[in-house]
Structure 1
Amino acid sequence: MNKHFTTSGPVVPAEHYCIDPMQRLDWEEIHYLIAAKKYFVLHAPRQTGKTSTLLAMMEVLNRSGEYNTLYVNIEGAQVAREDAHWGMTLVCQSIAARARDYGIEPGLPALAKSVLADTDSANAVTELLSRWAQISPKPIVLMLDEVDTLIGDTLISLLRQIRAGYAQRPRAFPQSIILCGVRDVRDYRIENAHKETITGGSAFNIKAKSLVMGSFNRAEVEALYAQHTTATGQVFAAEIFPELWEDTHGQPWLVNALGNEMTWEDKTARDRSTPITMERYQAARERLIRSRATHLDQLTNQLKERRVHAVVAALLAGESRIANLQNDDLQYVEDLGLIRTSPQIALSNRIYQEIIPREITWQWQATITHQQAWYLTPERRLDMVKLLTAFQQFFRENSDVWLQGLPYKEAGPHLILQAFLQRIVNGGGRIHREYALGRKYTDLYLEWPLDEVKGFYGEVQRVVLELKILYANLDKTITDGLSQVSSYARHCGATEAHLVIFNRNQEVSWDEKIWHEVRHDAALQVDVWGA
């Protein structure tokens, strides 16, 4: 079977294009921690290759002959929720079954059965690991994956039982245990049956270190795609790669998913003599975004978490409330892979920047009845004055209802305008979003092809919009906005610019809020809109 880009499950090097998992970690440090009998955490955002890396680690360590190393996914114990007895039973059974399946300790299922029959569940994991360590001819290295999916007393019991056996390592307990998941153990917020909150750090205070596995770097992205070219002869246009990097910033699932879209989902590209052009890349990108694939659906679920909400809301609104956010929350959201903090705080990549506002407003966007054709001139240009005039009326009639239902009320006006624009440009144009955190505005860059046949390879209408919330002085807000939007227009090569200012003061009438005037900044005309 020919290799291909994979978007599900662990990487199989014989079947999938991949970056060597062992190159994605500081192997020297991991080997030192294991040799030093340390218990530590390895965490990474979902679908970044964590499981593939752990399986590769198990193979390398077992091949070295130094250790009996076992990888176990214990996510199945999540169903036990607060039932710690059932949860610990499932954990013990999972450890035993994987030891048998990998040929590391074929007799462990029988030992687990005996332990579960003779030992209280509050000590079952400790007892199983202790007995196994005593009969194992080599020190044990145990990797427990998806630990952070466990809930309440089940998770507390597991962490405390591991801690209870720690002092007996390596003669009567594993030499090293690696807890794996999306989150660092410090971010485990556990509520027990008595509604008491216990942090992971207090329940597992034997952690020596937390290691993070991140995304691909730019060279790795290009190396991954080069594997396809080497295997099939199909080439990617060089200009794709800067765009691919900005769109993904190396997020492994996105990189693989775009590769799959370009080389397989585009059926015409299955003929490997067909070069992958920038036009094909842009089409693949749009298909992926509109697909609402599993990875992107998981992203939407994360947006519902309180700690994620606080950070993302500030980003979407471009507000300066970042100073009020907790450092732990910022670190947590970065660990989830949703933001990056260097060189400045921002959503992780351009695809997330586009996906997040679309997903937040999905059900509302579907209710917008305005149609694209209403806003096209005979030359097939978007009539932005007509479009934004219609938006003012739409916002006046619907914003109260929308703002009550939107989960991200802080960024509500920005999201409503983006949903309105998205409804109009879907299937034809593109909207690029820039979230200027701390500068109190959001930039939108709209591209609209004027020739349906040539698409983005023909003449393109380029429009920039800057969205601001009115906090104090209107004249100063306009002055600042004119400078900012004209600078953004020059950067994008846009010839049309609009500044939209939302007044959220409920004491001001709609007749006062809704207005439109034309200003100029240098040689650029800027339409300024009140809403």
Structure 2
Amino acid sequence: MRFFNTAGPVRTKEHYCLNPLDRINLDEVLSLIEQKKYFVLHAPRQTGKTSCLLALMEYLNSQTEYKSLYINVESAQGAREDIKQGMNALINEMASRAKIYLNDDFIETIMPTMLDDTVYISALNLCLTQWSANLSKPLVLFIDEIDSLIGDTLISVLRQIRAGYDKRPEYFPQSIVLCGVRDVRDYRIHSDREKSIITGGSAFNIKAASLRLGNFSQSEVLELLEKHTIETGQPFEDKAKNLIWHYTQGQPWLVNALAYQACFETKAKRDKILEKMPITEDMVIDAKEALILRRETHLDQLADKLKEERVKRVIEPIITGKMVTADIPEDDLQYLTDLGLINRKPSIEISNPIYMEIIPRMLTSTTQDSISHNSLWYVKEDGTLDMLKLLKGFQEFFREHSESWVERFQYKEAGPQLLMQAFLQRVINSGGRIEREYGLGKGRTDLMVIWNYYKNSKIKNNIPSKNDNKNKNNKEGVNAVQKEVIELKILHKSLEKTISDGLEQTYQYMDRCGKSEGHLVIFDRDETKSWDDKIFCKQELYKEKRITVWGM
């Protein structure tokens, strides 16, 4: 049985997958190769770049025009600024792959002379020159993980390729494709030797094109899920399919990880495949939560990026809904786009709902663990959340602790929003979830608290009795969902104007969610004001919707 792949390149015999060559514009790539162009393929991590390059190598080698080789230069990362060690790792990689894929040991035979102390500085150029001259067909070379190289080693590789460009195709590769997360033009490489910053565009000014591998389209997500159904007979309900698309927006690793978690993660789930039991919307929700709680490698790498100052410069205004965008450098926006963290069109926003949820949770994970409040304090006898009591509890918590807690955050400007989300996450974890919406320039953060309980069931602390469990599908024990809208705003203008704008924004969010009641929370960060002036709670009737306004 095949399965959804979450680690490394796809193998068609082992994994459900789309045809990697269908994910690139094959005609354009072949045309660039035919024209002897050197170009770049870039995309966020775990998007399918390596799978596409391996498939392209196999395709070219099945034809008659070229010899093609894929190499991964990540092993040279450990050499850092040591060019000799870097060349040693890189040429060893080429020799090994040439033997595996092309049954060619030529590089292996010339390696000793390539790595001599007198020539190692141009070893890659010499190796490619001699090998190309020895081949019966023009060489097409794919260099993966090029941006894993560091400093002078990376500069040396780029310059050696550039130096051999005029010798192609008889004495240098006809075409070279550099593959990484970022476009080579965006590299800013620190050279220890030259004591300066070298840009990728200057070190590699022979690039003819830059191709970007995108996410799956919605139809491609459905096609991938359907492969599981065809092979096993286990269907995905329509709501489950739509939710996988909504949560991931087609990010390939997230799509595969959600589907794998829902279908294969436990024996009980694998048994459901044999029974052909459908994958439901609730199973996808549970799978999403499990991925976030486990902090899979993909998501952990995301958390690590949040520590970078240039990432903070973009993410923090998005979390706060800040209106001013002119101060954000273009290079920072492009960097986050290349990482797959944001989309820039039609407006700047976090690229998918899973990232929207995981970013504040990762930024506040320690805070969540330290907050003592829990859901037992705020659950009514009927199992629903007492939102007035919950927000009153946060208001008191915020008044007492905000000054010290906000200072602990790296993202201090977003501190109030992050602290509230940490508080809510701590309370909601035991029986629900929080969905978030925010974007640069919106001036607000939208939260939807979703709480699961047993409707009309007399329970204690939202724990159903055995009788409730037994009859939870009956009229008196229906599994129900409570949804609550919370809008967060920072006070920038007058309080009256902020409330006026906030009521309209909260109304719009409530209208989209089909809710008649909601909450508007306004954080006043003026340190000269007393807490008595900041703290208030009042109810407003706005366009026939009841909105509770909280001041903090």
Secondary structure of residue in 2 paired with 1:459: strand
Amino acid at match of 2:349: A
Q: Is the aligned partner of 1:404 residue 2:390?
A: no
Is the 2:375–2:430 Cα contact (8 Å) retained in structure 1? Answer: no
Amino acid at match of 2:216: F
Amino acid at match of 2:515: A
Amino acid at match of 2:409: L
Amino acid at match of 2:421: Q
Percent sequence identity over aligned pairs: 51
Amino acid at match of 1:321: V
1:354–1:217 Cα change, 3 Å: same
Equivalent positions of 1:97-112 (< 5 A) are: 97-112=96-111
1:104–1:344 Cα change, 3 Å: farther
Is the 1:269–1:276 Cα contact (8 Å) retained in structure 2? Answer: no
Cα-to-partner distance string for 1:234-259 (whole Å, 9 max, x where unaligned): 11111212211110011111111111
Is the 1:436–1:443 Cα contact (8 Å) retained in structure 2? Answer: no
Is the 1:69–1:142 Cα contact (8 Å) retained in structure 2? Answer: yes
Partner of 1:299: 302
Aligned equivalents of 2:103, 2:345: Cα separation in 1: 43
1:241–1:342 Cα change, 3 Å: farther
Partner of 1:497: 518
Partner of 1:196: 196
Secondary structure of residue in 1 paired with 2:115: helix
Q: Which runs of 5+ in 1 are unaligned?
A: none
Is the 2:106–2:131 Cα contact (8 Å) retained in structure 1? Answer: no
Residue 203 (structure 1) shift = 0.9
Aligned equivalents of 2:430, 2:96: Cα separation in 1: 50
Aligned equivalents of 1:285, 1:130: Cα separation in 2: 50
Residue 486 (structure 1) shift = 1.5
Partner of 1:215: 215
Secondary structure of residue in 1 paired with 2:521: strand
Partner of 2:84: 85
Cα-to-partner distance string for 1:471-493 (whole Å, 9 max, x where unaligned): 12110000110111122112112
Partner of 1:270: 270
Partner of 1:252: 252
Q: Which moved more, 1:396-405 or 1:340-349?
A: 396-405
Is the 1:462–1:493 Cα contact (8 Å) retained in structure 2? Answer: no
Aligned equivalents of 2:402, 2:151: Cα separation in 1: 40
Q: Which moved more, 1:521-530 or 1:252-261?
A: 521-530
Secondary structure of residue in 2 paired with 1:255: helix
Secondary structure of residue in 2 paired with 1:96: helix
Partner of 1:389: 392
Aligned equivalents of 2:245, 2:325: Cα separation in 1: 26
Secondary structure of residue in 1 paired with 2:16: coil
Match of 2:490 among 443, 452, 469: 469
Q: Is the aligned partner of 1:162 residue 2:175?
A: no
Residue 119 (structure 1) shift = 4.2
Aligned equivalents of 2:5, 2:394: Cα separation in 1: 42
Residue 88 (structure 1) shift = 1.8
1:400–1:104 Cα change, 3 Å: farther
Q: Is the aligned partner of 1:126 residue 2:125?
A: yes
Aligned equivalents of 1:407, 1:195: Cα separation in 2: 31
Partner of 2:31: 32
Number of residues of Structure 1 aligned to a counterpart in Structure 2: 530
Partner of 2:535: 514
Aligned equivalents of 1:238, 1:517: Cα separation in 2: 42
Aligned equivalents of 2:33, 2:307: Cα separation in 1: 37
Partner of 2:379: 376
Partner of 2:461: none
Secondary structure of residue in 1 paired with 2:11: coil
Partner of 2:431: 428
Partner of 1:115: 114
Residue 521 (structure 1) shift = 0.7
Residue 526 (structure 1) shift = 1.2
Cα-to-partner distance string for 1:359-395 (whole Å, 9 max, x where unaligned): 1111121111111100111122211122112212222
Aligned equivalents of 2:529, 2:170: Cα separation in 1: 74
Residue 408 (structure 1) shift = 1.6
1:346–1:115 Cα change, 3 Å: same
Amino acid at match of 2:284: Y
Secondary structure of residue in 1 paired with 2:325: helix
Q: Is the aligned partner of 1:280 residue 2:296?
A: no
Cα-to-partner distance string for 1:245-280 (whole Å, 9 max, x where unaligned): 110011111111111111111432323222212222
Secondary structure of residue in 2 paired with 1:205: coil
Partner of 2:457: none
TM-score, normalising length: structure 1: 0.97
Match of 2:416 among 409, 413, 418: 413
TM-score, normalising length: structure 2: 0.93
Aligned equivalents of 2:145, 2:439: Cα separation in 1: 35
Q: Which moved more, 1:14-23 or 1:293-302?
A: 293-302
Q: Which moved more, 1:21-30 or 1:446-455?
A: 446-455
Aligned equivalents of 1:263, 1:508: Cα separation in 2: 54
Cα-to-partner distance string for 1:101-135 (whole Å, 9 max, x where unaligned): 22352221121222112642221111111111111
Aligned equivalents of 2:324, 2:241: Cα separation in 1: 35
Aligned equivalents of 1:285, 1:406: Cα separation in 2: 26
Amino acid at match of 1:145: D
Amino acid at match of 2:481: V
Q: Which runs of 5+ in 2 are unaligned?
A: 455-463
Amino acid at match of 2:332: D
Q: Is the aligned partner of 1:333 residue 2:336?
A: yes
1:461–1:308 Cα change, 3 Å: same
Aligned equivalents of 2:93, 2:278: Cα separation in 1: 47
Q: Is the aligned partner of 1:18 residue 2:17?
A: yes
Aligned equivalents of 1:457, 1:49: Cα separation in 2: 43
Aligned equivalents of 1:282, 1:132: Cα separation in 2: 53
Cα-to-partner distance string for 1:289-319 (whole Å, 9 max, x where unaligned): 2221111111111222332222211211111
Cα-to-partner distance string for 1:43-73 (whole Å, 9 max, x where unaligned): 1111111111110000001111211111000
Cα-to-partner distance string for 1:436-495 (whole Å, 9 max, x where unaligned): 421211110111123166699733221111100111211000011011112211211224
Q: Which moved more, 1:106-115 or 1:352-361?
A: 106-115
Equivalent positions of 1:219-238 (< 5 A) are: 219-238=219-238
Partner of 1:96: 95
Partner of 2:137: 138
Residue 14 (structure 1) shift = 0.6
Aligned equivalents of 1:82, 1:394: Cα separation in 2: 50
Partner of 2:239: 239
Once superposed, which parts of structure 1, at least 4 consecutive aligned residues long, lie more than 4 Å away? 452-457
